[in-house]
Amino acid sequence: MASSCLFSIIESPLHPDFSSLYQSKGISEQKFTSMRKALAALKKQSPNYIVAEFFYGYGNNYAGVNISNLDVLLYSLQKYAPEAKVVVLVDKKERKYVDKLNGILPLHGVLQFPVYSADMESLLNLETSSRR
């Protein structure tokens, strides 16, 4: 079985480190500290999974056309990796805005902080069992 690839887009200290979990599942993780770097890598490689934090665009440059920091990524996935499973990590106070992203690209899962290893593992197991 070919190894899966996962992009971790780490934009805050809240992003949990699940490297050992991914490794135990045979998933190769690539870490990015900015959306710009992740988008550049996406043009070269199609990941199986993307784990990224959600930041709602209240009145900043995301407002209006864009919902959040993830909009451009999701639109890019439509072109470069439409089969990628996106897991969104979100703060409780912003959880109500995440479902709007499904209009761009269906999300594989949404996990609210604090996120535990078992939460992520259940999403990865869900994907593995659906392939059988």
**Domain spans in the chain, listed from the N-terminal domain onward:** 4-130
Q: How far is CA 94 from the centre of its chain?
A: 16
CA distance 131 to 59: 41
C-alpha 23/C-alpha 102 separation (Å) is 28
> For residue 61, what pLDDT band results from cuts at 50, 70 and 90?
low
- The pLDDT assigned to 81 comes to 96
Q: Which two tokens stand for residue 66?
A: 């864009």
What is the pLDDT at residue 120?
97
Superfamily of domain 4-130: Response regulator (3.40.50.2300)
Per-residue confidence (pLDDT) for residue 63, from 0 to 100: 47
pLDDT of residue 57: 78
Q: Decide if pLDDT at 62 tops 60.
A: no
Cβ proximity of 36 and 59 under 8 Å: no
